[in-house]
Structure 1
Amino acid sequence: MRLPVTIVVTYYNQKKNLERTLPLWIEQGVQVIVCDDGSKKSQSPKAICDKYGATYFWQANEDNRQSEAFQRGLELTKTSFVMFTDADAIPCKGWADAMLGAWEPKRLLTGPREYKDKKGEWIRDWRQKYLDVFEHVDLIQKWKLMIGCNIFGLTKTFIDNGGWDINYRGYGLLDWDVSYRWVKNGGLFKYVPKAIVRFDEPPAKGEQGYFTGHTNDPRAEKLFGEKFPELAGVAP
């Protein structure tokens, strides 16, 4: 039985990753849309998508258009709920049931992400320390805890809030943009500790720290600052 959930997966030359992760998403009983940000022909995941019944979308490679890929996936979504993630994200067993069970009106949900350390052991999401008290932190900090590889919400609300800004280029801030607009429009956040996604590779340098060591693309920082001048000195 299919659940009323679509997983929008951004993809770029990650064929081996998707061969492992796509069937794990399909096992959850969800629909999947793979949005390819211009991979080379030898890395095309279309055959993998066809094998597992996933929708495949391709866009030209124009310097990291992940936000636009997410938006195209949102536009193709026909289910009540939608989640956005990366091709190397490994969902824990019961991820979809955990998210659906935790959902409440107006809520944008997020779950933990875990990584393997050098010994091959899973390390705890650094945000856990702060997300344990998610409802008690102030608004400015709260939206900074939303991570684009594991966010879930009502499709209609994403659309009503304007979706993903297709003008972002390079790495960073597209998830903060969505999250900040969500709360500006009266939305709330919720943390779902059982909805875990895992990655074999550790986060980028500096990402383990709390709001430190960002490596956002300067173009993304410029766009974010122009859109939200009230956050000057707060983000990134």
Structure 2
Amino acid sequence: MSASDPGRRASISVVVPFYDDQAALDRLLAAMELQTHTGPVRIVVADDGSRVPPILPRSSRYALHTVHQDDRGFRAAAARNLAVAAYPADLLVFLDADMVPEPGYLATVVAALQHLDVVVGRRRHADLGNWSPSRIGEWLTGRAAPPRELTPPAWLAEGYAATANLADSNSRSYRYLISAVLAMTAEMFDRIGGFDERFVGYGGEDWDLAHRCWLAGARWRYLPGAVAWHNGADLAGRLDADELAQVLDRQRERLTPLLPDPWFRRLQDHPGAHPPTQVPSVAVILTEPELPADSLELLVAGLAAGGEVHLWLDLAGQCWSGGPLPPGVHLGRPSPEELSRIPLVIDGTVAATRWAPKGGVG
């Protein structure tokens, strides 16, 4: 049953990826108790292999659950997928454990998802590391002064302003959807296959997910009224220049093979240092090509190994005898999952004629 069915409320799961930070989780759960949204909500804490499992309060206005996966590196993408699979719902609200949502956060997000597929909230920043759950409650209910706000990342604000809060999006606007304050319908999540679990390490999985949402035709918006506070500064404000450069380099190494955006890939300082492209920007599918074997070999050899264009050879009765296929050349047809990630697909039968001289040599 879809969220739009008359006579029933949409079911809601709030998914919180977690790793060894009980104090942050306590602050988030305290803020969730103050949400103005009415109706049943499930909170699922997705433990990414913590040494000490998360502890949940004995009583709550919500149903509280945990799921657990082994510690095999930073696997927030897999943890979120695990939570969604264990506790499916019509609407999926992803909140990182170090976020503190304001009381109206959930109501704003849920209302927007009645007519949109994906929304991203406003992430503000403050030093909340020494704040107790009770102090969080006093602040959010107006009984204590708010924290001093830290400088937010300018690039996000500029991106939202330039796109009219994502109403005027283009093929690069996926960069402004961040998983710390992301929500979407289960229908869209299922359509694109959820988070890509190949992302291991900090960052990148939200851009990949958002890019696939864009290709699937998602209707999305930035919601400045859906405010959640991040404990601490943005990444650029927490690390020195060398540390930040290392983190960003690792993100690029994960994203470059998997994110089919030529603009993003051209930003890389040393494109030759990155692994071959696993997800191309263009798929060319040749259906039953009536080409001699040496012509097929010439076609394959002419492609840049693992570049922006990948070739699928749907040879049917023909056999490939040209030796090992280079990266970016495949036999058969791309799978539906592969096709869902590729911006441009060219599919058809190829008729090729070899040039031959007319007449004899005089």
1:149 to 157, 176, 180: 180
2:167 maps to which residue?
Answer: 135
2:298 maps to which residue?
Answer: none
Q: Does 1:233 align with 2:243?
A: no
Cα 1:138–1:206, aligned 2, differ >3 Å: closer, same or farther?
farther
Between the aligned partners of 1:170 and 1:67, the Cα distance in structure 2 is 9
- Once the two structures are TM-superposed, the CA of residue 234 in structure 1 deviates from its matched residue by 5.0
Cα 1:8–1:187, aligned 2, differ >3 Å: closer, same or farther?
same
Q: Secondary structure at the match of 1:190?
A: strand
Q: How large is the RMSD of aligned CA atoms in angstroms?
A: 2.8
- Asked whether the equivalents of residues 14 and 44 of structure 2 are also in contact (C-alpha less than 8 Å), the reply is yes
CA offsets 1:121-171 (integer angstroms, 9 cap, x no match): 12464323331322235321x110011101111012101101011111111
- Asked whether the equivalents of residues 171 and 217 of structure 1 are also in contact (C-alpha less than 8 Å), the reply is no
Q: Does 1:54 align with 2:60?
A: no
- Once the two structures are TM-superposed, the CA of residue 187 in structure 1 deviates from its matched residue by 1.2
Between the aligned partners of 1:230 and 1:18, the Cα distance in structure 2 is 35
- Asked whether the equivalents of residues 10 and 91 of structure 2 are also in contact (C-alpha less than 8 Å), the reply is no
Task: Decide which structure has the larger Cα Rg and report it.
Answer: 2
Unpaired runs of 5+ in structure 1? none
What pairs up with 1:213-232 in 2 under 5 angstroms? 215-216=247-248, 218=250, 220-231=251-262, 232=265
Between the aligned partners of 2:212 and 2:238, the Cα distance in structure 1 is 23
CA offsets 1:105-131 (integer angstroms, 9 cap, x no match): 453100110012699412464323331
| Structure with more of its chain in helix, by fraction | 1
Between the aligned partners of 2:171 and 2:87, the Cα distance in structure 1 is 29
Q: How many residues align?
A: 226
Unpaired runs of 5+ in structure 2? 1-8, 129-145, 270-362
Query: Which amino acid in the other structure matches residue 21 of structure 2?
Result: Q
1:158 maps to which residue?
Answer: 189
Q: Give TM-score, length-normalised by structure 2.
A: 0.56
Q: Secondary structure at the match of 1:83?
A: strand
2:139 maps to which residue?
Answer: none
2:47 maps to which residue?
Answer: 36
What pairs up with 1:85-164 in 2 under 5 angstroms? 85-105=95-115, 107-116=117-126, 120-123=147-150, 125-126=152-153, 127-132=156-161, 133=164, 134-140=166-172, 142-164=173-195
CA offsets 1:157-186 (integer angstroms, 9 cap, x no match): 101101011111111100000000000111
Query: Which amino acid in the other structure matches residue 45 of structure 1?
Result: P
- Once the two structures are TM-superposed, the CA of residue 235 in structure 1 deviates from its matched residue by 7.4
Identity of paired residues, percent? 21
Q: Secondary structure at the match of 2:266?
A: coil
User: Quick one: higher RCO (CA 8 Å, sep 6+), 1 or 2?
Assistant: 1
Query: Which amino acid in the other structure matches residue 108 of structure 2?
Result: A
CA offsets 1:51-81 (integer angstroms, 9 cap, x no match): 4341101111111111110111121233210
Between the aligned partners of 2:259 and 2:54, the Cα distance in structure 1 is 37
Between the aligned partners of 1:124 and 1:98, the Cα distance in structure 2 is 24
